[in-house]
């Protein structure tokens, strides 16, 4: 019965994407390139269908669905909000979103759009690269700053007067060791950088023993000045040996400075804690009721669980209200999911004695929220939504990414106008290199993604199709392949021990056009194909283990991505 249920769900998604078949005139195959004329994505999560939003000011959590981890936000005090998240080794780096109400977010581009801003990405693991960006606005010089860690280069920041436009080249911060830097701009015009660093004198008492340090920053010279001081050692309750106090931010409310940090690691023990101090250097006193955000004490068998909540940031609205964002996960089976760490939004409540809190201890993070006075827009980043790209523009849409660099030598939107052309390059998806791969995030547990491709392989190592990728050794590939005189459509599992065929079907050697579809149903994937332009679909592989690409099995800090891929180096192991 389980098999029949999964097949029914897999084919149920075909109706959702009935419009994904090719509508363009056919194009002739070309040597050593795959030509894609469109890409469609549709989300169909059961929670959203069962829980419609009650009014126009309501929203779903996560407010940015899919892998948008380590969120940070700022306001210019004029009603504009800007939000950024981590991208690790994906390019462009650090997506930037704009909102006027904190609920409706539009991606306006990326902060790091040039290779000069993203150095030493090649040879890094998928979860290397850019960690935990922080965005801040300095009203004293009307400048926006984004500061972050490049694991392969160190801490740096970029700045701009116009967050809708280009940002500066990196300005390195050699004085700031560690990770997770963040700016704080005080009312007196002074600036500070706070971040996570090693234990005192580099001698940790236990694994995960870290510190939070603060240094003054001169905006005139773009350099740190004075002593870099430890303001937190270990965490909010040192006697309990807390781990990984990180992702710090400083705020000011009235005459009081607040230091907020994550603790407990970014997995199930994740939390957020708060401190008060009289200056940006403290001394900081932790709240006795910490943490101000966590889900680690809740029953893991609860319905629609939210886990890993932490790494938060806060902002004050012109009306004087405080709102916060944070990362969290939505597992579907145990601790397994493929969406990665997502961005959630909640109002921040203040106690009578002046402490902010996201949720009370023991309370669940709500999946439905409300911001009075807000009206939802049409192109949402939460709930069930669909996207379709006809590749008619001269540049890729903001949701598309490549790995470790711009991949301009590998794909083109101009070689065949109205199509995405991907070169069969001499690199395979398991390599730590720039790949012939254009991808986007999964945003739903239940989804369908499809494309129409023109391609005939010319050698046994040449192939093209759709690739689900978590990291170098956790992937699934649906591709048009060749083995001697035998032409095939295959599903391959790419793991630590190599590439292995898990399903295949022979096709005619002259077949040049094929439609591919990948469906997701929680912890199962389905792989489909059509040879008649999407009129009739065939299921090639069902009940494929999606747990294999989850963070719980693969590790790392990203979510799973899906995209279009070609290679001249993908022989079977």
Any residues with CB less than 8 A from the CB of 240 and at least 6 apart, and which?
none
Nearest CA among 498, 526, 502, 528 for reference residue 516: 528
Supply angle C-alpha 460, 461, 466, rounded to 5: 110
E strand map for 113-199: 130-138, 143-150, 154-160, 171-172, 179-185, 191-197
Alpha carbons 197 and 202: distance in angstroms, whole number: 9
Supply angle C-alpha 373, 77, 380, rounded to 5: 45
* Coil/strand/helix, residue 230: strand
Residue 303: other Cβ atoms inside 10 A: 7
Is 246 assigned a catalytic role?
A: yes
> Do 91 and 121 form a contact (C-beta atoms < 8 A)?
yes
Any residues with CB less than 8 A from the CB of 50 and at least 6 apart, and which?
none
Backbone angles phi, psi at 564, to 5 degrees: -110, 135
CA distances to 89, 162, 235, 311, 572 from 72, rounded to whole Å, are 18, 18, 21, 9, 42
Residue 3 gets which letter from DSSP?
A: H
Is 70 assigned a catalytic role?
A: yes
Nearest CA among 269, 200, 278 for reference residue 240: 269
Q: What stretches of 91-189 show up as alpha helix (H) in DSSP?
A: none
Alpha carbons 197 and 181: distance in angstroms, whole number: 10
Supply angle C-alpha 292, 188, 75, rounded to 5: 50
CA distances to 34, 319, 454, 504 from 534, rounded to whole Å, are 18, 52, 13, 19
How far is residue 396 CA from its own chain's centroid? 18
Residue 551 gets which letter from DSSP?
A: H
Active site residue: 42, 44, 45, 70, which one? 70
Alpha carbons 5 and 13: distance in angstroms, whole number: 13
Backbone angles phi, psi at 461, to 5 degrees: -95, 0
Q: In the sheet where 179-185 sits, what is the strand order?
A: 179-185, 191-197, 211-218, 223-233
Torsion of CA 94, 96, 101, 103, to 10 degrees: -50
* Coil/strand/helix, residue 185: strand
How far is residue 135 CA from its own chain's centroid? 16
> Do 328 and 367 form a contact (C-beta atoms < 8 A)?
no
Active site residue: 246, 313, 342, 471, which one? 246
Alpha carbons 315 and 486: distance in angstroms, whole number: 60
Catalytic residue positions, numbered: 70, 246
């Amino acid at each position: 019965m389980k098999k029949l249920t999964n097949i029914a769900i897999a084919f149920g998604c075909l109706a959702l994407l009935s419009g994904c078949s090719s509508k363009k005139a056919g194009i002739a195959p070309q040597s050593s390139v795959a030509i894609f004329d469109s890409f469609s994505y549709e989300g169909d999560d059961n929670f959203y269908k069962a829980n419609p939003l009650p009014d126009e000011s309501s929203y779903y959590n996560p407010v940015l669905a899919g892998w948008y981890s380590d969120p940070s936000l700022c306001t210019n005090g004029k009603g504009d909000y800007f939000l950024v998240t981590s991208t690790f080794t994906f390019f462009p780096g650090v997506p930037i979103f704009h909102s006027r109400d904190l609920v409706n977010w539009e991606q306006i581009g990326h902060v790091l759009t040039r290779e000069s801003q993203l150095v030493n990405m090649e040879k890094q693991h998928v979860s290397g690269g850019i960690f935990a960006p922080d965005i801040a606005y300095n009203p004293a010089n009307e400048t926006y700053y984004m500061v972050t860690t490049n694991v392969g280069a160190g801490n740096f920041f970029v700045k701009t007067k116009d967050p809708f436009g280009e940002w500066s080249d990196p300005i390195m911060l050699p004085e700031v060791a560690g990770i997770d830097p963040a700016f704080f701009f005080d009312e007196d015009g002074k600036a500070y950088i706070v971040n996570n660093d090693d234990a005192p004198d580099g001698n940790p008492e236990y694994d995960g023993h870290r510190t939070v340090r603060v240094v003054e920053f001169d905006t005139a010279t773009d350099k740190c000045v004075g002593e870099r001081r430890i303001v937190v050692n270990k965490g909010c309750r040192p006697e309990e040996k807390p781990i990984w106090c990180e992702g710090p931010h400083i705020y000011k409310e009235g005459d009081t400075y607040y230091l907020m940090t994550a603790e407990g690691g970014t997995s199930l023990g994740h939390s957020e804690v708060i401190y008060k101090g009289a200056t940006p250097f403290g001394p900081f006193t932790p709240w006795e009721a910490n943490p101000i955000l966590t889900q680690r004490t809740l029953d893991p068998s609860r319905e629609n669980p939210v886990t890993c909540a932490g790494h938060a940031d806060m902002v004050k609205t012109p009306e004087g209200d405080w709102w916060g964002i944070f990362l969290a996960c939505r597992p579907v089976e145990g601790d397994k999911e493929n969406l990665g760490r997502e961005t959630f939004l909640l109002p921040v409540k203040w106690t009578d004695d002046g402490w902010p809190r996201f949720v009370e201890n023991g309370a669940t993070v709500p999946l439905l929220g409300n911001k009075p006075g807000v009206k939802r827009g049409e192109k949402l980043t939460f709930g069930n939504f669909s996207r379709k790209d006809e590749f008619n523009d001269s540049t890729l849409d903001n949701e598309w990414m490549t790995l470790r660099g711009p991949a301009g030598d590998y794909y083109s939107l101009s070689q065949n106008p109205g199509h995405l052309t991907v070169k069969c390059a001499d690199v395979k998806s398991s390599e730590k290199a720039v790949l012939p791969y254009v991808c986007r995030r999964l945003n739903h547990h239940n989804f369908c993604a499809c494309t129409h491709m023109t391609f005939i392989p010319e050698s046994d190592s040449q192939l093209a199709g759709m690739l689900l990728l978590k990291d170098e050794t956790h992937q699934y590939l649906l591709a048009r392949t060749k083995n001697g005189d035998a032409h095939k459509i295959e599903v391959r599992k790419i793991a630590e021990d190599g590439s292995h065929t898990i399903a295949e079907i022979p096709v005619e050697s002259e077949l040049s056009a094929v439609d591919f579809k990948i469906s997701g149903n929680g912890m199962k994937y389905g792989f489909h194909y059509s040879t008649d332009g999407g009129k009739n679909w065939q299921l090639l592989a069902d009940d494929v283990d999606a747990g294999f690409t989850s963070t719980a099995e693969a590790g790392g800090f990203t979510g799973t991505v899906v995209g279009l891929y070609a290679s001249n180096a993908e022989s079977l192991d």
